[in-house]
Amino acid sequence: MTTEKYSGLLDRFLSYVKIETRSDPESEAVPSSPKELALLKQLQGELADLGLSAVKLDDNAILTATLPSNLDHAAPVMGWLAHVDTADFNASGVNPQVIEDYDGQPIKLGAGTYQLDPADFPSLTNYRGQTLITTDGTTLLGADDKAGVAEIMTALAYLQAHPEIKHGEIKVAFTPDEETGTGASRFNVKDFGADFAYTVDGGPLGELEYETFNAAGAEITIQGKDVHTATAKGVMVNALQVAIDLQGMLPAHDRPEKTAGREGFFHLYQLDGTVDHARMLYLIRDHDRQLFEARKQALRAVVADMNARLGEERVTLKLTDQYYNLKDALADHMEVVDLAKQAMTELGITPDIYPVRGGTDGSTLSYMGLPTPNIFAGPENMHARFEYVSLQTMEAAVSVLLKMNQLNSQAD
């Protein structure tokens, strides 16, 4: 049987992942999917049951609460945050598997044909002897970021069960729509009241992230002209062909599947339509702000050139900035990163720091004035059927939260 370092961590996680919270990138509602509210309301009740104060689920579906200080001296107010929504992959009927004392062999996912094989996923070799939670092959797991949610709730429960442990005031928040890039934009940093915070939303053990992409989304719509193919010459404008030609005008190397490290990209992730009308959706990413702006300008130039070739305005572009590089916002607040480094080091965890090829809510929050780097929560292979997480890594994340509290609570 699995022996837990922190009581309730596994049960919390299994409970949370079974609640469907997939966000909807096409929705303008708040939250983007009403399914997210079910977990938020459950967490609202759990926070109240733990005895936290100021438990509030606001009109933007952001749940906040406060663990009051038990110190006899002042300490900076720390925040812990995680998001409840899952990514754009099947999340209905999540049926997690618990694999105890993993033996390093392939893991069959449910009754289907899929398996987690170390030959395909070498990271599995890091988890021999540990307890793994996987999918059954039909859905994602949702450890991104329900592992973070469970870890924060478990750390709070641990502090409440051990009043002898000293802690400053701790603010917690659970947010919707991180996967759509919109949830944190509605966050009220002033009302939250923390001096600094951490999103618990990273991957494997030791991840500490404070450098992210600059990010934008692009929607390109193409109005074609559909006529009978018998009389099409010189008349037809095939919107799908225009889309193909437009994609071909972008740098062939600058795609996610051909880039790594600090290399940016244009990512065409959706193309649909007919001869008459087509729609293209892009992600634009770069760590360097100047190169990021140059990428956006390059896409504008491609669209303008395509319209010039067509002889009329048939291609329209809508560009939306999503978030900016977290590192730039934290440049004057590196003590927040240093605190996380120290906590991990004192626990025997080697901080794994690298430029993230993605982003977190912390990017948005840091530009709002709340310095918020990101620490590991544990999931591997996020956003799809091969997702899994180690219980021991989740326990380590709880330990890091508690150690950061200890360090932050010490009198000067």
Candidates 136, 144, 169, 178; catalytic one = 178
Neighbours of 8 (CB within 10 A): 15
CB of 136 within 8 A of CB of 398?
A: no
CB of 64 within 8 A of CB of 56?
A: yes
> Strand pairing partners for 78?
170, 196
Neighbours of 126 (CB within 10 A): 14
CB of 15 within 8 A of CB of 21?
A: no
CB of 63 within 8 A of CB of 40?
A: yes
Active site residue 85: yes
CA 391, distance to chain mean position in Å, is 19
Is residue 311 within a helix (H) or strand (E), and if so which, with residue range?
Answer: none
Candidates 36, 85, 136, 209; catalytic one = 85
Distances from the Cα of 49 to the Cα of 84, 125, 167, angstroms: 19, 39, 19
The runs of H, that is alpha helices, within 257-360 are: 289-310, 326-330, 334-346
Cis amide leading into 34 (omega within 30): no
**Per-residue tokens: 175:** 């947010």
| Environment class of 315 (CB within 10 Å of its CB; exposed 0-12, middle 13-18, buried 19+) | buried
Active site residue 286: no
First to last CA, the chain: 44
Q: In what order do the strands lie in the sheet with 315-323?
A: 265-273, 277-286, 214-223, 315-323
Cis amide leading into 145 (omega within 30): yes
CB of 278 within 8 A of CB of 295?
A: no
> Strand pairing partners for 98?
133
Residues with a catalytic annotation lie at: 85, 178
